[in-house]
Chain A
Amino acid sequence: MMQLSHTWLLDENPETRFQAGAGQTYRMVRALLRNPLAVVGLVIIIGLLIVAAFAPVLAPYSPIESNLGARLLAPSADHWMGTDELGRDILSRIIHGARITLMIVLMVAVISAPIGLLVGTVAGYFGGWVDRVLMGLTDVFLSMPKLILALAFVAALGPGIENAVIAIAITAWPVYARIARAETLTFRNAEFISAIQMQGASHTRVIFRHIMPLCLSSTIVRVTLDMAGIILTAAGLGFLGLGAQPPLPEWGAMISSGRAFILDQWWVATMPGFAIVIVSLGFCLFGDGLRDVLDPRNRTR
């Protein structure tokens, strides 16, 4: 019988592949939980996930329906974060906005990280002209300011969340490519790579099975740390009116619309601002903790 116990997980002599894998994960999670800041980050991210998942249940009001009779109310027991210029409850909009934010962040990560990883490992592994071409391309993208590039793409594709996601993904991958390439270079001549080549492994196999898993952890760390930046860029696009379109409750767009009342009705712009700050911070803290756990340089033998 297999039991998921502490001793089973920490067994130095696992009997199956599954046990070996589970044990490794368990050790990592334990190390992560020992870092208080990472735990704070994790709590924030889990909070965001819960809020996004149960938005319709948690939100006291509709995020879209306007109620012109209740315009610009200050925070109170009825409206904890006040209402906006159309009388919509800001708390409800922020809660629903969590879904949009989470979707943008995940989509960007899912699109840009694999592209960056692939470009970087291929460039680093083959070197020579492949490297020069791929890295030249990467440099072109890197040399352009992120927000401006995203703006240009949105302008070309038309405003909207999907296009904002594509635009941000296009600006995000070069960083991962650079990191993956740098990491690949450190072990492309390692003996374990020579060994597997001598056993007849194809280039594809070496890259996907041997090099990528080693670059994965630093990419994950970097993506987590970048999530804050992605949220900010998305908010920036929203603020400029090029991201999510009204009446979608996107946090950046909410700040933008609150801008007109910033002096008299501070809460309209400030509340979504808080949301952005807290969630960004959560990803940063978690990313830092993750780096401490995953970074092979910190690992003791």
Chain B
Amino acid sequence: MIDLKHLSIAYGETSVVKDVSLHVPEGGSFALVGESGSGKSTILKAIAGQITNWTGRIRLGDHDLQQGRDPALIRLCQMVFQDPFGSLHPRKTVDTILSEPLSIHGLGDQNRRVLETLDAVGLARKFRFRLPHQLSGGQRQRVAIARALMLDPPVMLLDEPTSALDVSVQAEVLNLLKTLREQRGLTYFLVTHDLPVVSFLCDNLGILRQGELVELATVEQLKQQRFSSEYGNELLSKSY
């Protein structure tokens, strides 16, 4: 479903992503792990069409992505962002946030779709007309997930979706993500530094260091704490 071939990204002289190739099958759940500055978010942004100057190939389904804003991208993948406080427009109600993608694409039956999606992400209907600041972090993240689901994309890009949340709320959101994937056969591409989250949510992972992919591993390797690269094991030892 997601296929990266020799993806390189440079800002001016400094290259931040160096020749990364990886493949995520349809319905798969892949995690890209690494520390800040490893280039993991940059790769995510390139897939999301927010970065224009990449080289190599990005293939989603059977569509080769163009540089920049590719209109085909909209129906193919949507993103859930890290910061539940920064990813929702502060002056728009949950209802407006969720119905906007429908209006953009002229899709009808907005009322039913909004209510259905609220139900799907486990957000009570009474929250529909609240503003983001009247919601808790976990509720906001549910709204962000609901927004990503509105256009029914097969691929979800997840940018540290739970790192800004409390542990107990993190569990709720992780459960939700797992359920949604099972119900809808979504393909997940997750960026994180949190190995336990990968263990819960993903099938495969790639370890990124300073823009280079040092290892592609299965989640079984993670669970048994047996990576083949030295850096992978270093990350394991620092995770507690």
- Interface residues, chain A, with chain B CB atoms under 8 Å away: 12-17, 19-20, 24, 190-192, 194-201, 205, 209-210, 213-214, 296, 299, 301
Task: Tell me, in angstroms, the Cα distance from A198 to B74 when the chains sit together.
Answer: 6
Q: For A296, give its contact among B49, B90, B105, B144 (CB under 8 Å).
A: B90
- Asked whether B121 is an interface residue with its Cβ less than 8 Å from the other chain, the reply is no
Interface members, chain B 118-176 (any A CB < 8 Å): 126-127, 129-131, 133-134, 144, 147, 150-151
Contact A13 B126 (CB under 8 A): yes
Interface members, chain B 93-107 (any A CB < 8 Å): 93, 95-96, 100-101, 104-105
Most-contacted residue by chain B among A24, A198, A201 (CB, 10 A):
A198
Contacts A199-B100, A205-B104 given; does A213 touch B91 at CB 8 Å? yes
Q: Looking across the interface, which residue of chain A has its beta carbon closest to that of B151?
A: A199
Task: Tell me, in angstroms, the Cα distance from A210 to B87 when the chains sit together.
Answer: 12
Q: For B130, give its contact among A13, A192, A195 (CB under 8 Å).
A: A13
Contacts A20-B131, A191-B81 given; does A198 touch B91 at CB 8 Å? no
Q: How many whole Å from B225's CB to the nearest CB in chain A?
A: 33
- Asked whether B88 is an interface residue with its Cβ less than 8 Å from the other chain, the reply is yes
16 sample A-B contacts, Cβ–Cβ < 8 Å, listed by A number: A19-B129, A20-B131, A192-B87, A192-B88, A196-B89, A197-B50, A198-B48, A198-B50, A198-B74, A199-B74, A199-B78, A199-B147, A200-B105, A201-B100, A214-B89, A299-B133
Number of A-B contacts (CB under 8 A): 77
> For A19, what are the chain B residues with a Cβ–Cβ distance below 8 Å?
129
Q: Looking across the interface, which residue of chain A has its beta carbon closest to that of B75?
A: A200
7 A-B pairs with the lowest CB-CB distances in the bound complex, closest first: A191-B87, A13-B126, A20-B129, A200-B74, A191-B81, A14-B129, A199-B101
> For A190, what are the chain B residues with a Cβ–Cβ distance below 8 Å?
86-87
Contact B69 A197 (CB under 8 A): yes
Task: Tell me, in angstroms, the Cα distance from A12 to B130 when the chains sit together.
Answer: 7
Q: Is the interface of B mostly helix, strand, loop or mixed?
A: loop
Q: Looking across the interface, which residue of chain A has its beta carbon closest to that of B93?
A: A20
Given contacts A191-B82, A200-B74, 13 further A-B contacts (CB under 8 A): A12-B130, A15-B129, A17-B93, A17-B95, A191-B81, A192-B90, A198-B49, A198-B73, A200-B101, A200-B104, A213-B91, A296-B90, A299-B133
Contact A192 B86 (CB under 8 A): yes
Contact A195 B91 (CB under 8 A): no
Q: How many whole Å from B80's CB to the nearest CB in chain A?
A: 9
Contact B130 A14 (CB under 8 A): yes
> For B87, what are the chain A residues with a Cβ–Cβ distance below 8 Å?
190-192, 195
Q: Looking across the interface, which residue of chain B has its beta carbon closest to that of A201?
A: B104
- Interface residues, chain B, with chain A CB atoms under 8 Å away: 48-50, 69, 71, 73-74, 78-79, 81-83, 86-91, 93, 95-96, 100-101, 104-105, 126-127, 129-131, 133-134, 144, 147, 150-151
Q: How many whole Å from A192's CB to the nearest CB in chain B?
A: 5
Contact B49 A16 (CB under 8 A): no
Contact A24 B131 (CB under 8 A): yes
Contact B104 A199 (CB under 8 A): yes
> For B91, what are the chain A residues with a Cβ–Cβ distance below 8 Å?
213-214
Contact A195 B129 (CB under 8 A): no
Task: Tell me, in angstroms, the Cα distance from A201 to B147 when the chains sit together.
Answer: 14
> For A296, what are the chain B residues with a Cβ–Cβ distance below 8 Å?
90
Q: How many whole Å from B119's CB to the nearest CB in chain A?
A: 16
Task: Tell me, in angstroms, the Cα distance from A12 to B124 when the chains sit together.
Answer: 13
Q: For B144, give its contact among A13, A16, A195, A199 (CB under 8 Å).
A: A195
> For B150, what are the chain A residues with a Cβ–Cβ distance below 8 Å?
199
Task: Tell me, in angstroms, the Cα distance from A195 to B153 when the chains sit together.
Answer: 14
Contacts A198-B78, A199-B100, A213-B91 given; does A20 touch B130 at CB 8 Å? yes
Contact A13 B93 (CB under 8 A): no
> For B50, what are the chain A residues with a Cβ–Cβ distance below 8 Å?
194, 197-198
